[in-house]
Amino acid sequence: MEQKKSLISKIGSLYNLSNKAWLIVALIGIGIAGLTYSPTQGEGDVKGVLGCNQTPASELKTLPDEQLKTIFSIAKIDIARDTVNFNSNKNYIPVVNEPKFTQYSETDGCMQNEELVVVVQNAEQTKVYPSKILLSNLIVNDKIADTDVVISYCGFCDSYQVYERKFQNESLSFGISNYIYKNSDLLFDNKSESLWSQMSGEALSGTFTGGKLKRYPFRLMSYQQAKTEFPSAEVLSFDTGSRRDYTSNQFKDFITSDEIPSPIFNASDKLKNKQLAIGFFLNNRAYAFTPDLMPEKINLDGRELNISKQGGEYIVIAGDEKMRVYQAYWYVWYDFNPETVIINKQG
């Protein structure tokens, strides 16, 4: 406890954190890192309180704890003014670089039916990524068949994103930089350590500035729905290479607070900041609705849309086309998509 108090004091003094909002950000950052289990746990204690196999102590992975080598002089944004940094080294949060996969029978013991999972698939393979892992490790560097992909979660956005990892004919791996911009995590790549937005997939600082990762289709649904629809899928194992407290959501206090970690550039009072927005794009225009006022039928740009929620998944169909659907807190969604049209039904 004394060590954590001194760490809080240290970060507070570095940032002169007299403002409660920034102090909460610092505490959240500390809390995320503090959820790592002690490597001294016994070899036999691979399930712990979770109920699923976790990484044995002898197999825990250690990532380099060092400063970023990003070339900050190359940037689309003013790093000092527009971003917030937790003043920590890269790899503060251990991402999953060597994912292992298992069957539902192994993960049933630690997943509730209603909990969300990310499903990534192509004609050859289907993979399921439990939200419990993504909420704690934030990034999984993986591949689906022959395509390298990165699956990510942003706790300040409540946003899940999947991108292809190939850029300029190179396969990149990603980690957490501990910078955020527009309240979205900035990921760093292992080649140039450029900083990439989790929400947009665009490189905002470093050698690859201006580059953009290609989005890869995914579906967000309940664990039970994934089991029903994809009974033979490969499920990401909780043997992730690190010991994390997968039993709790480290962002739960942030969800219920009014605090916003970093500057908002495009603000909207049409919805509450942390209302969940379900968004999609039609004819290059952004639309969004909230779960409580989801329209079932609506005409947009001359097309009839049918909207539903099935098995925890929001489904938007325009004619015979199934739209890609995303979720994020309203204040983040609108900041990235200020032209968004809200299509809530009249409540």
CB distance 321 to 342 below 8 Å: no
What would the mean pLDDT of 230-249 be, rounded to a whole number? Answer: 93
AA identity, residue 160: Y
Strand partners of residue 66: none
Query: What pLDDT does 41 receive?
Result: 41
**According to DSSP H, which parts of 71-124 are helical?**
79-82, 104-107
Q: Is residue 121 part of a domain?
A: yes
Residues sharing a CB contact under 8 Å with residue 269, sequence separation 6 or more, in sequence order: none
Quick check: 1 pLDDT over 80? no
Mean pLDDT of the chain: 87
CB distance 127 to 120 below 8 Å: yes
Quick check: 12 pLDDT over 90? no
- Pair (114, 202) in one structural domain: yes
What would the mean pLDDT of 245-263 be, rounded to a whole number? Answer: 90
Q: Which of 193, 220, 248 is the last residue of a domain?
A: 248
User: How do residues 151-162 score in pLDDT, each as one tens digit?
Assistant: 999 999 999 999
CB distance 160 to 217 below 8 Å: no
- Pair (178, 313) in one structural domain: no
CB distance 168 to 212 below 8 Å: no
pTM greater than the 0.95 cutoff: no
Strand partners of residue 154: 159
Quick check: 10 pLDDT over 90? no
- Pair (146, 180) in one structural domain: yes
- Pair (115, 215) in one structural domain: yes
Question: Using CA atoms, how far apart are residues 185 and 176, in angstroms rounded to an integer?
Answer: 7
Query: What pLDDT does 49 receive?
Result: 59
- Pair (275, 148) in one structural domain: no
Where in the sequence is the domain holding 208, given as residue range(s)? 39-248
Q: Is residue 3 part of a domain?
A: no
- Pair (76, 207) in one structural domain: yes
